[in-house]
Amino acid sequence: MIKPVGSDELQPLFVYESDKHDALKHEAESLPSILLSSQAAANAVMMGSGYFSPLPGYMNVTDAMGAADKMILSNGKFFPVPVMNLTSKEQVDNLAGAKRIALRDPNVDGNPVLAVMDIEAIEEVTPEQMAKMTEEVYGTADPEHPGVAAFNSQGNIAVSGPIQVLNFSYFAEDFPDTFRTAVEIRNEIAERGWKKVVAFQTRNPMHLAHEELCHMAMDRLGCDGLVIHMLLGKLKPGDIPAPVRDAAIRKMVELYFPPNSAMVTGYGFDMLYAGPREAVLHAYFRQNMGATHFIIGRDHAGVGDYYGAFDAQTIFEEKVPEGALEIEIFKADHTAWSKKLNKVVMMCEAPDHEKEDFVLLSGTKVREMLGRGEAPPKEFSRPEVAKILINYYQSIQ
As a whole number of Å, the end-to-end CA separation of the chain is 47
Quick one: angle between helices 242-256 and 383-395, nearest 10?
160
DSSP class of residue 266 equals: E
**Is 107 labeled as catalytic in the residue annotation?**
no
Instruction: Fill in the amino acid letter for 319.
Output: K
State how far Cα 182 lies from the chain centre: 12
* Residue among 111, 156, 192, 203 flagged as catalytic: 203
Out of 100, 204, 250, 367, which one is annotated catalytic? 204
CA distances (Å), 253 to each of 1, 42, 291, in order?
24, 27, 18
Of 78, 82, 80, the closest CA to residue 129 belongs to 82
Q: Could you tell me which of 11, 12, 10, 9 has the C-alpha nearest to residue 168?
A: 12
- For 380, phi then psi, to 5°, come to -110, -40
Given a contact cutoff of 8 angstroms between Cβ atoms, the answer to whether 36 and 105 are in contact is yes
Which three-class secondary structure state does DSSP give residue 263? strand
Q: Distance between CA atoms of 151 and 149, rounded to whole angstroms?
A: 6
Q: Is 203 a catalytic residue?
A: yes
Coil, strand or helix: which one is 79? coil
Per DSSP, the three-state class of 260 is coil
Catalytic residues: 203-204
